[in-house]
Structure 1
Amino acid sequence: MATIGNTYDPATTAAGLATNYTSARQSILTAQTKQAGSAAAALTSLRSAISGYQSSLLSLTSGKTMLSQSATFSNPAIGSASAGVNATAGSYSFFVEQLATANQVSYAGLADSPADGGNLGIEFGGVPGFTVNLATANSDGNATLTPREMAAAINAEPTNNGRVSASIVTVNGVTQLMLTSKTTGAAGNISLNTAAVGNAGLKAALSAPPTQVTTGQDALVWLGAQGTGTPIAQASNVFTNVDGVTMTFTKAQAPGDTPVTLTVASDNAGTVAKVQKFVDDYNKLKTVIDAMVAPGDPSKGATPGVFANDGGVRVLQGRMVSMLRGANGADSLAAYGIVATRDGSLSLNATRLTSQLAVSPKGLDTLIGSSVNGSSSGIAGSLDSYLKEWSSSTDGQLKQRLEQNTKLQTSLTKRQDQLDKQYDSAYKRYLTQFTQLQTLQSRMASNTSMFEALFGDKS
């Protein structure tokens, strides 16, 4: 008689049957969940790309012109200059008589002194600045106030606000308190008010005239020749007297020197760089969109983009291209060397741009325009206005699509939970059935063995 044996594992069999029971629905749900996740990531990426491009457009067109200006000195050793969008071409003469400097003073003869408390006043240009509590300056709490503790208290005083830096310098065994003003100009000259200092010895040392390591003084620059031009005095070495130009003087001239010439002129290289950024930023956004709507190519192993079958995103792709190709004539993008290729991306011919700027410098600004709210114009204005239909935080397409996709993902999560419960229920049911069958099979096998023992051939 044949022996009945166990040929299966109940748990493995139950898991396989439960998987078969839910596999069709699980495959569909897995695909939908993957697509929803990819859509969420793509929409977030698209929102970031559009927002970045709009910010770039605003930065490029927020000035009154796309044209760049340069500002240079005839003698670079005297200083440097930069021109903003409001600068007007021209030539100016300056003579730098003296530079602004920051005051630095030292107080010698300082030693450890009894911590008698009191207040030390710090003044700038004879005007009270802030007060240091010498009682709290004694940080270690012993009976002695050291110069280093006093310097630390000056630096840590909240009302100092970084206006003066205190340090200790030891020269030939003599301790000196060094105070340095953080601002240039005569108004930053430091003095001490010791009237409320408690310790007599410390008060005497701080009341003595300090050593002027560096005298604080205002800058003095002449518009024109020294002595005959117009004097300009100020506390800083950075001057903005020429509209749209920032000048930083770094060296004073000697009496009789020839004034330095500031030249403000068109900066073609700077303009080319701005236009190149306009081109590059557009191409960057277009690349993101192109990848999302790509049809794919199975023969090359290229998978379709997440929005390959999304008509709305394809419209976005087409509208951006058509906006750039719409302008024709003498002041078209192509006339300024900005050419759209067959796939809609842009390229820049710097030589053609420079040549057209010489013929029609204002045409570039009119063509590209501005994306600034309230003064939107040109290509930049049109692009920004259309992109706001997608990026608006109130009713933009991206907001609506993300909300719909989030609802879909929530629904898919609930469906997955339900399917998981169905799987668990099926698994438990199959496990119970096949465990019982296994038990019955074992009993039958045992009975078979017993019958064979009793009635089998014993020869």
Structure 2
Amino acid sequence: MATIGNTYDPATTAAGLATNYTSARQSILTAQTKQASSAAAALTSLRSAISGYQSSLLSLTSGKTMLTQAATFSNTAIGSASAGVNATAGSYSFFVERLATANQVSYNGLADSAADGGNLGIEIGGAPGFSINLASANSDGNATLTPREIAAAINAEPTNNGRVSASIVTVNGVTQLMLTSKTTGAAGNISLDTAAVNNAGLQAALSAPPTQVVTGQDALVWLGAQGTGTAINQASNVFTNVDGVTITFAKAQAPGDAPVTLTVASDNAGTVAKVQKFVDDYNKLKAVIDAMVAPGDPAKGSTPGVFANDGGVRVLQGRMVSMLRGANGADSLAAYGIVATREGSLSLNATRLTSQLAVSPKGLDTLIGSSVNGASSGIAGSLDGYLKEWSSSTDGQLKQRLEQNTKLQTSLVKRQDQLDKQYDSAYKRYLMQFTQLQTLQSRMASNTSMFDALFGDKSN
């Protein structure tokens, strides 16, 4: 008699049938979920790219001009200078009679003293600056107050705000308390008020005239020759007397030296660098958008961009290109060496830019314009204005698209949850059915074995 055998596993069979039951809908849902996730990442990336480009436009055009000025000294050992966008070309003579210095004093012969408490006042520029509590300065709480504890208390005092730094220097076994002013100039000179110091020995040591290691003094610079020009006194070695120019003097001159010459003039290399940044930042944003709308090429193994079929992002791509190509005339982008390729990317011919700047320097600023709110103009203003339609945090397209995509992702999660439940239900149903069938087959197999034993051929 034939034997009925069990040739399947109920759990595996149930899982396969449940998968077949949901596979078509799962494939669609998986594709939609993947697309929504890719869209969310792409929209976030696009928002970051647009925001970065707008920030760059604002940085490049927030000054009055794209043109760069350079400020140079005839003797760089005497000083250095930098010119801002408001600097005016010109030549200036300076004689540096003295530099501003920060006061540094030392109190010599200090020794450990009895921790009798009181307060030590630190004066700056002859006026009360701050004070330290000598009882609190005794950090280890023993009967002795050391110079190092005094220095540490001065540095740690919250009301000091770093105006005075204190350190301990030991020379030939003699301890010195060194105090250094943070600021240069006579107004930063340091002195001590010891009237409230309780320990007589410590009070006497700190009341003695200190050693002036470095005398705090103001800078004295002459606009013109020494003694006959205009004297400029100030506490800092950084001067801003020439509009748009920051000057830092580093070395005093000897009497009889000739004044140094500061020259402010156009800096073509700096201007080229700014225009190159304008070009590079535009190309960077365009490359991000181009990748998102790329159609793909199966023959070359390239896949379509996430927004390959999105008309709105394609409009963004086209509008950016048309805004640049729309600037024609004598002072066009091409005239200044900024050329658009067939695909809309930009390249810069620095030689052509420099030549056109010599002919029409103001034309570049008119052409590029500004993206500053309330004063937008030119290409920068047009680009920024259109990009705000996308980047606005209130009603921009990116905000709306991200919100819609988030709703879609929430809906897809719910649909996935429902499909998972349908799968689980189908699996349980199939598992129960095939488990029952397996049990029935086992019984039938058992009965078959019994019949074989009873009625089988026993001639052997």
TM-score above 0.5, yes or no? yes
Structure 1 CA distance, aligned partners of 2:208 and 2:217?
A: 22
Secondary structure at 1:116 match in 2: coil
Q: Which residue of 2 aligns with 1:396?
A: 396
Secondary structure at 2:176 match in 1: strand
Alignment of 1:23-422 (within 5 A): 23-422=23-422
Moved more, 184-193 or 2-11: 2-11
Secondary structure at 2:196 match in 1: coil
Secondary structure at 1:303 match in 2: coil
- CA positional deviation for 1:280: 0.1
Percent identity among equivalent residues?
Answer: 93
For 1:319-368, what per-residue CA distance to the aligned partner results, in whole angstroms no more than 9, with x for missing partners?
Answer: 00000000111100000000000000000000000000000000000000
Structure 1 CA distance, aligned partners of 2:274 and 2:336?
A: 13
- CA positional deviation for 1:242: 0.1
For 1:115-172, what per-residue CA distance to the aligned partner results, in whole angstroms no more than 9, with x for missing partners?
Answer: 1110000011111100111111111111111111111100000000000110111111
- CA positional deviation for 1:455: 1.4
Structure 2 CA distance, aligned partners of 1:386 and 1:157?
A: 54
Structure 1 CA distance, aligned partners of 2:286 and 2:179?
A: 57
Structure 1 CA distance, aligned partners of 2:220 and 2:6?
A: 105
For 1:211-237, what per-residue CA distance to the aligned partner results, in whole angstroms no more than 9, with x for missing partners?
Answer: 111111100000000000000010000
Gaps of at least 5 residues in structure 2 are none
- CA positional deviation for 1:4: 1.3
- CA positional deviation for 1:63: 0.2
Gaps of at least 5 residues in structure 1 are none
- CA positional deviation for 1:10: 0.6
Structure 2 CA distance, aligned partners of 1:133 and 1:456?
A: 113
- CA positional deviation for 1:241: 0.2
Structure 2 CA distance, aligned partners of 1:164 and 1:68?
A: 39
- CA positional deviation for 1:5: 1.4
Structure 2 CA distance, aligned partners of 1:449 and 1:251?
A: 113
Secondary structure at 2:129 match in 1: strand
For 1:21-53, what per-residue CA distance to the aligned partner results, in whole angstroms no more than 9, with x for missing partners?
Answer: 000000000000000000000000000000000
**Alignment RMSD:** 0.6
- CA positional deviation for 1:206: 0.5
- CA positional deviation for 1:277: 0.2
For 1:359-380, what per-residue CA distance to the aligned partner results, in whole angstroms no more than 9, with x for missing partners?
Answer: 0000000000000000000000
Secondary structure at 2:192 match in 1: strand
Structure 2 CA distance, aligned partners of 1:8 and 1:350?
A: 77
Structure 2 CA distance, aligned partners of 1:354 and 1:364?
A: 11
- CA positional deviation for 1:84: 0.1
For 1:374-421, what per-residue CA distance to the aligned partner results, in whole angstroms no more than 9, with x for missing partners?
Answer: 000000000000000000000000000000000000000000000000
Structure 2 CA distance, aligned partners of 1:96 and 1:2?
A: 117
Structure 1 CA distance, aligned partners of 2:2 and 2:195?
A: 117
Structure 2 CA distance, aligned partners of 1:309 and 1:14?
A: 40
For 1:239-272, what per-residue CA distance to the aligned partner results, in whole angstroms no more than 9, with x for missing partners?
Answer: 0000000000000000000000000000000000
User: Deviation above 3 Å: which 4+ runs of structure 1?
Assistant: none
- CA positional deviation for 1:67: 0.1
Structure 2 CA distance, aligned partners of 1:361 and 1:21?
A: 73
Structure 2 CA distance, aligned partners of 1:179 and 1:442?
A: 98
Structure 2 CA distance, aligned partners of 1:453 and 1:207?
A: 123
Structure 2 CA distance, aligned partners of 1:358 and 1:196?
A: 70
Q: Which residue of 2 aligns with 1:429?
A: 429
Structure 1 CA distance, aligned partners of 2:348 and 2:334?
A: 9
- CA positional deviation for 1:318: 0.3
For 1:297-324, what per-residue CA distance to the aligned partner results, in whole angstroms no more than 9, with x for missing partners?
Answer: 0000000000000000000000000000
Secondary structure at 2:151 match in 1: helix
Structure 2 CA distance, aligned partners of 1:327 and 1:285?
A: 20
Structure 1 CA distance, aligned partners of 2:11 and 2:179?
A: 83
TM-score, normalising length: structure 2? 0.99
